[in-house]
Amino acid sequence: EDKVVQSPLSLVVHEGDTVTLNCSYEVTNFRSLLWYKQEKKAPTFLFMLTSSGIEKKSGRLSSILDKKELFSILNITATQTGDSAIYLCAVEGVTSYDKVIFGPGTSLSVIP
Q: By the criterion CB under 8 A, which residues form the site for another protein? A: 4, 9, 31, 34, 41-45, 48, 88, 90, 97-100, 102-105
DSSP code, position 19 = E
Q: 47 or 79: whose CB is closer to another protein?
A: 47
In angstroms, give the least distance from the CB of 67 to another protein.
18
In angstroms, give the least distance from the CB of 98 to another protein.
5
What b-and-e string marks burial along 15-53, b requiring 16 or more CB atoms within 10 Å of the CB? Answer: eeeebebebbbebeebebbbbbbeeeeebeebbebeeee
The whole-angstrom distance between residue 27's C-alpha and the CA centroid of its chain comes to: 16
Q: 16 or 104: whose CB is closer to another protein?
A: 104
Q: 17 or 56: whose CB is closer to another protein?
A: 56
In angstroms, give the least distance from the CB of 15 to another protein.
26
42 Cβ partners below 8 Å, 6+ apart? Answer: none
Beta bridge partners of 63: 56, 74
Q: 43 or 64: whose CB is closer to another protein?
A: 43
In angstroms, give the least distance from the CB of 78 to another protein.
27
